[in-house]
A = this chain, B = another copy of it.
């Protein structure tokens, strides 16, 4: 049994971490901090937790956190990097659900997040926590940058073609038309997020540029081993009037080799041993509700023409896109069964 700390448990990734970890047989949440809610019982804020925990929010005390085996940061961008060094020096592992350890490119980080990185050296040693693709490095990691939700759908959606021996797709052709439920924007008192502004409505947002774009570019470079070819990837996110769920519709031009490859077989083989990635049969359409509350990502492929591939990639943005993948990474780091705490089935209807 390991001891766990959570910094910043007042957002949706925080309550999801608790929902999952309170049922984990090998980990126990010992500390839960909040800048603003110290002294409050977490179940008074999140009524689903009533009867399941007596945890109270406390002030962030680094000495207390150092006694944990692992600390999750479910905080705004820029918090984890202030504390990660101290924690790793105390042999406490760090999993950041914000962006502090997602981008190796410091310039991009500063451009998109408007702050200087606090520990560039530690960043270099950190591991990008896309569990299925970086499992070996995650095992050894002290600091994990947990991927953004959109980038998770894109990476798992394109990894099989990007990692193939031959060039199967034309990287400059990638268009990602992405759609997310409203919880992806977090738990914030903002006019744009209130019910009556979002229900029965659909729109694109972040059209001029979204922070997940540089993360996607860097990730695709890392996966493919190619640089300089993904800058023009198009990424347009849209807001869906639903709480949870994310679907990326990814359009790619195939090379001659790609057109002649059995991509369905390629994908099925690539993910054959992955419990959390489901390659659906040809002709399928993954629904976000099929993974509601579950740590799963479902993929379906379509080829409207011999030279065009469409990948549909669906997940729960708060689970496989955030808290679930974070716990999956913890399981890998500590040698637990990878699905420990994550075996729940999606809630449908």
| Inter-chain contact A12/B249, CB cutoff 8 Å | no
| Inter-chain contact A348/B46, CB cutoff 8 Å | yes
Q: Which residue of B lies closest to A208 (CB)?
A: B283
Nearest CB in chain B: distance from A303 CB, A: 10
Q: How many copies does the complex hold?
A: 4
| Inter-chain contact A203/B285, CB cutoff 8 Å | yes
Query: A196 in the interface, Cβ–Cβ < 8 Å?
Result: yes
Given known A189-B194, A234-B308, A240-B241, contact A249–B348 (CB-CB < 8 A)? no
Q: Which of A47-55, A63-71, A151-159 contacts B (4 or more CB under 8 A)?
A: A47-55
Q: Which of A116-124, A217-225, A294-302 contacts B (4 or more CB under 8 A)?
A: A294-302
Q: Which of A86-94, A128-136, A174-182, A262-270 contacts B (4 or more CB under 8 A)?
A: A174-182
Scan residues 7-47 of chain A and give those whose CB is less than 8 A from a CB of chain B.
12, 15, 19, 22-23, 46-47
Q: Which residue of B lies closest to A47 (CB)?
A: B290
| Inter-chain contact A23/B242, CB cutoff 8 Å | no
14 residue pairs bridging A and B, Cβ less than 8 Å apart: A179-B179, A181-B200, A183-B196, A187-B194, A187-B196, A193-B196, A195-B195, A196-B349, A200-B242, A200-B243, A202-B245, A203-B286, A236-B249, A318-B349
Interface residues of A (CB under 8 A from B): 12, 15, 19, 22-23, 46-52, 175, 177, 179, 181-183, 187-191, 193-205, 207-208, 232, 234, 236, 238, 240-245, 247, 249, 251, 275, 278, 280, 283, 285-294, 296, 298, 300, 302, 304-305, 308, 310, 312, 314, 318, 343-349
Given contacts A19-B347, A203-B286, 18 further A-B contacts (CB under 8 A): A12-B196, A12-B349, A52-B345, A175-B251, A177-B249, A179-B202, A181-B196, A188-B191, A189-B194, A193-B196, A195-B241, A201-B245, A201-B287, A232-B308, A238-B249, A241-B242, A243-B349, A251-B251
